[in-house]
A and B are shown apart, each in its own frame.
Chain A
Amino acid sequence: MISKGWIKKLFKEADSWIREGIMDTTQVARLKDYYAKSLGYNRFISSIYILGAILLGLGLILFIASNWERLGVGFKVGLVFACIAGFNFVGYRYRFEKEYYTRLGQALLFLGAISFGVGIWLIAQIFQFPYNYEDGVLFWILGLLPVVFLVRIPSILILVSILLPIWLGVLIANTPQRIFYPFFLLLALVGYLVYRQKQRSALFFVIVSGGIWITHYLSVRLMELPAWSQTPESLPIFLLYCNLFTAYGFVLYGLGMRHNQHKNFSELSITYKLSALLLIFLSHYALTFVHHTFAGASSRFGDVYLNPAAGIVYVLYLAGWVLSLKRIFKASDPESKREAQGILLFLFLQTLLMAVGACGQRVVSFAYNVLLFAETLGFLYLGYLLRAESIFRLALWVFALNVLARYFDTFWNILPRSLFFILGGILLIGGGIYLERKRKAIEQKMKLNPDGNRD
């Protein structure tokens, strides 16, 4: 059975056949065209099956929820048990033992995974467990881990990875004062499966779970601070949270750089890098507005940043520094070295700016405006250098968003409304045309490079 993974590898190999003179470009183009069609067809069929499975699963959940009185408990339990057994066994047969309908088999196995969750929630409903029954989500994850290990179905792995932050969220909502260190055991198990299957979407949710955990850790430790720190006007606290996300982002980017050089896991690199950039850009973008929203309390800066609660931020920054420094010394090509140098520069600037909170909200806002501008330009350059279209586009989006925000920020009170909107419209349209032309030209240059895309 020709799989999607096999076709992807064929495409890469075919490029090398041209370089080695084994085949000419016409032949390779014909091959690629043939398989691209079957890839699209398979992906389409796969999507149809998965969509059908999701709809069936949702329908099952709603059916059970809405027909409580009409069906006996024994009937409902029996129905769910039959679904678990039936979907799994029939799915296994089609996926692994039949020549055709393997994607149907995958969809049925996915339905089996959903049915197990339905069973847990049905029993919870029978015994009137609370709606935020965190153990139910945990049992669901634990019950699916061996299934993922055995059958390697991407959709089930993604389901497990989505359940992970949900479980953590419910746990935090139920007991907000506790820090859950055993979470890392589950994270390790799911992470192992993600790496085994090199599943980028699942990795993203694992990264999100990690982010939720560190945010919760910081908020529990901050509860030990006096009451003033719990008020929304507290700039040092807001700055601390933004620094936490930034530090986590730099650690993720460092991991992304590390993975880029790894022969087995380079495909996961882009997930780390894009998640990192989202965190860094969003937190810095938020800090460019602090002159609007915060009253100050900058005199409390030392109380917050010298408190043990802030330790996690420093630890993450240190990890970011270590990962970036290692990359400079271990980079195998000049582009990777330049990338690591760029990250180190931004890390250095960011570490310096941690102290700027003591100068008040206007200084913070100005400093992060400058830093964000520099970062977007920097990552535009890095995206071009590394032939990473997704990084380039993300940086471009953030650049455009930042320009728009600054325009509003600066001219809203200065210009008459009508002129403000007219001028804004002209700038947007003109800017959009210019950026689009530049983006196409740059991406065209990236594609023409014989090394091909990095991601």
Chain B
Amino acid sequence: MNRKSLFIAVIAAQLLFLTGMIIFHRARIQSGTRILLETTPVDPFSVFRGRYIDLNYKISTIPLGLLREDQARIKEGDDIYVILEKKGRFWEPVFVEDRLPINTHIFLKGKVSRLTSADLSIRYGMESFFLSEASADEIEGNRWTGTDWQTQQSRMDQRLKNLGEEDYRIYKAGINEWWFKTLDEELEAWRKEGTVTPEQIAALREKYKTAFLRIHAAQQQPEQTAQQPIDSQIPMTVEVAVTPDGQGYPVKLIWQGKEYK
């Protein structure tokens, strides 16, 4: 076999591998059991993978009371299997196993990330959910009452528009005190040349000084609305496809009755 044939075979193997990944995971999701889990989100930004939301499930923290006495040796880094039962809309943990459960209906496999005297924290490998930019912005925008810079800028812009057409025009043209200082010097020169009259100079000075005062007042007006999240306490719901070996695939993010993906 020559190099070219081998190279073609390698590239074909890469493509087959990727195809295999898609088929494999799609089959697992389709054969998995769909459950709803409750979560509270944190929202970092990942440059390398679009926008993603960090998910912290309610089942990510398990009280030590769910462990049996013979499971006291569980330590950080150990694999753990959390058996779930449906209670109302959501699924909740009922007990844990430190080995693969047999004859158990629904469970999720995780890893103990932290162990305290009261509970243990578990990571299931489904702690992030990727969203489009539009969905991520929508969720972020709906959670906060316009504390972001763009919203504040647009509010200030509206206040300046309310000052009147001429003041707004002066602001948008970038006319400021520095510009006026030069104008003031030039006005004197024009007056000496006889190009402008003292009354005209006085009128110009009055115009710009009052405009600047009004513009400054509008810019420094404090934000009237309270800056706090309005509904950061409303948890999100994640629909997860759970495979028979305990792997969870988050498939839908639901918040305030709307589905995000």
Contact = CB atoms under 8 A, between A and B. Distances in A.
A39 B18 CA distance: 39
Nearest to B7: A150
A127 B129 CA distance: 9
Interface in B116-141: 125-135
Interface string B31-44: 00000000000000
Contacts of B130: 68, 125, 128
Interface stretch (A26-34, A44-52, A80-88): A80-88
B121 to A, nearest CB: 14
B49 interface: yes
Q: Which of A81, A116, A131, A176: most chain B CB closer than 10 A?
A: A131
A77 interface: yes
Contacts of A130: 125-128
B10 A147 contact: yes
A110 interface: no
A65 B48 contact: yes
Contacts of B129: 128
Contacts of B76: 177
Contact of B7 (A92, A124, A139, A175): A92
Contacts of A147: 7, 10-11
A57 to B, nearest CB: 12
A61 interface: yes
B255 interface: no
A120 B18 contact: yes
Contacts of B111: 175
Interface string A76-106: 0100110011001100100010000000000
A138 to B, nearest CB: 12
A77 B6 CA distance: 24
Interface in B126-181: 126-135
Interface footprint category on A = 35 or more
Interface footprint category on B = 35 or more
A112 B25 CA distance: 24
Contacts of A129: 125
Q: Is the interface of A mostly helix, strand, loop or mixed?
A: helix
B50 A66 contact: yes
A131 B128 contact: yes
Interface string A122-140: 0111111111000000010
Contacts of B46: 131
B15 A85 contact: yes
B100 to A, nearest CB: 18
Q: Which of A64, A89, A130: most chain B CB closer than 10 A?
A: A130
A69 interface: yes
A445 to B, nearest CB: 48
A150 B134 contact: no
A128 to B, nearest CB: 5
A177 B77 CA distance: 6
A143 B50 contact: no
Contact of A175 (B4, B26, B77): B77
Nearest to A220: B77
A128 B241 CA distance: 11
A143 B127 contact: no
B11 A84 contact: yes
Contacts of B135: 69
A121 B48 contact: yes
A151 B75 CA distance: 47
B241 to A, nearest CB: 10
Contacts of B7: 88, 92, 147, 150-151
A435 to B, nearest CB: 41
14 contacts: A68-B50, A69-B134, A69-B135, A77-B22, A88-B11, A89-B8, A123-B22, A125-B50, A125-B130, A126-B22, A128-B251, A131-B49, A150-B7, A175-B111
Interface of B: 3-4, 6-8, 10-11, 13-15, 17-18, 21-22, 25-26, 29, 46, 48-50, 52, 75-77, 111, 125-135, 249-251
Interface of A: 61, 64-66, 68-69, 77, 80-81, 84-85, 88-89, 92, 96, 112, 116, 119-121, 123-131, 139, 143, 146-147, 150-151, 175-178
